[in-house]
């Protein structure tokens, strides 16, 4: 976990992080210094999007969320549109929201909030698994529409153009999100 002085984790967030450390989960998650794998995601409007091609033109910010039906995730993505997307565009950084839900089910969410950034499906949860941020949620399988039931912990991963991860923040639940200021600072670093 990498944080900046602008971000102060809440007591709930700190308790969640301590539990991850006790369970040994934290050591298996992506961390600063790791690398972005060369994978393709399926963007809701554009189809396949290759992460390394995005890195060719700027830093990459990946926002992991559960699914389009989650009110907390929906609200967070709308807030990131207002408070984060414009700043990242000015920094020539790519913002990609990632969910294990089918891309066609994500398209509604993207249009409903008029999201200017990429909203992509990791339907086989290859990126979620590579980062070690997934957990089993059998009741989510019908919502995801992929025949799978892995959801990501809400997380933000920031990588520079080289593909090296600069910043990772994993949240305890969908209502707790990384502050845009911390993400912007990580892109600038």
Cα 49 to chain center, whole Å?
Answer: 15
Whether 52 maps to a domain, the answer reads yes
Whether 118 maps to a domain, the answer reads yes
Q: Is the pLDDT of residue 5 over 50?
A: no
Whether 116 maps to a domain, the answer reads yes
Whether 126 maps to a domain, the answer reads yes
pTM value is 0.85
Q: Rounded distance, CA 54 to CA 34, Å?
A: 17
Antiparallel, parallel or unpaired: β 134-136 and 150-152: antiparallel
Whether 98 maps to a domain, the answer reads yes
Q: Worst-scoring range by mean pLDDT, 81-85, 112-116, 170-174?
A: 170-174
Q: What's the mean pLDDT in 68-89?
A: 94
Residue that is written with structure tokens 């999100």 in the block = 177
Cα 85 to chain center, whole Å?
Answer: 14
Give rounded-to-5 percent helix, strand, coil for the chain: 40, 20, 40
Report whether 115 contacts 97 (CB < 8 A). Answer: yes
* Segments forming the whole domain that contains residue 88: 11-188
For the stretch 143-167, pLDDT in tens is: 899 988 899 999 999 999 999 999 9
Look up the CATH number of the domain holding residue 139.
3.40.30.10
Whether 111 maps to a domain, the answer reads yes
Torsion of CA 152, 160, 88, 26, to 10 degrees: 30
For the stretch 87-132, pLDDT in tens is: 999 999 999 999 999 999 999 999 999 999 999 999 999 999 999 9
Whether 6 maps to a domain, the answer reads no
Whether 3 maps to a domain, the answer reads no
For the stretch 27-54, pLDDT in tens is: 678 889 999 999 999 999 999 999 999 9
**Triad 179, 184, 185: Cα angle to 5°:** 100
Number of structural domains found in the chain? 1
């Amino acid at each position: 976990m990498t944080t900046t002085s602008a971000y102060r984790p809440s007591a709930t967030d700190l308790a969640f992080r301590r539990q991850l450390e006790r369970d040994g989960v934290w050591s298996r998650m992506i961390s600063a210094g790791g690398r972005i794998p060369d994978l393709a995601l399926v963007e809701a409007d554009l189809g396949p999007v290759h992460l390394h091609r995005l890195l060719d033109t700027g830093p990459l910010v990946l926002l992991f969320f559960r699914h389009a039906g989650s009110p907390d995730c929906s609200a967070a993505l709308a807030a990131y549109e207002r408070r984060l997307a414009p700043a990242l565009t000015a920094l020539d950084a790519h913002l990609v929201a990632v969910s294990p839900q089918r891309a066609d089910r994500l398209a509604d969410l993207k249009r409903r909030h008029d999201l200017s950034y990429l909203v992509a499906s990791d339907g086989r949860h290859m990126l979620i698994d590579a980062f070690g941020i997934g957990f089993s949620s059998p009741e989510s399988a019908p919502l995801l529409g992929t025949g799978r039931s892995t959801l990501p912990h809400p997380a933000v991963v920031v990588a520079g153009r080289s593909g090296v991860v600069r910043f990772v923040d994993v949240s305890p639940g969908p209502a707790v999100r990384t502050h845009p200021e911390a993400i912007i600072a990580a892109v600038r670093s």
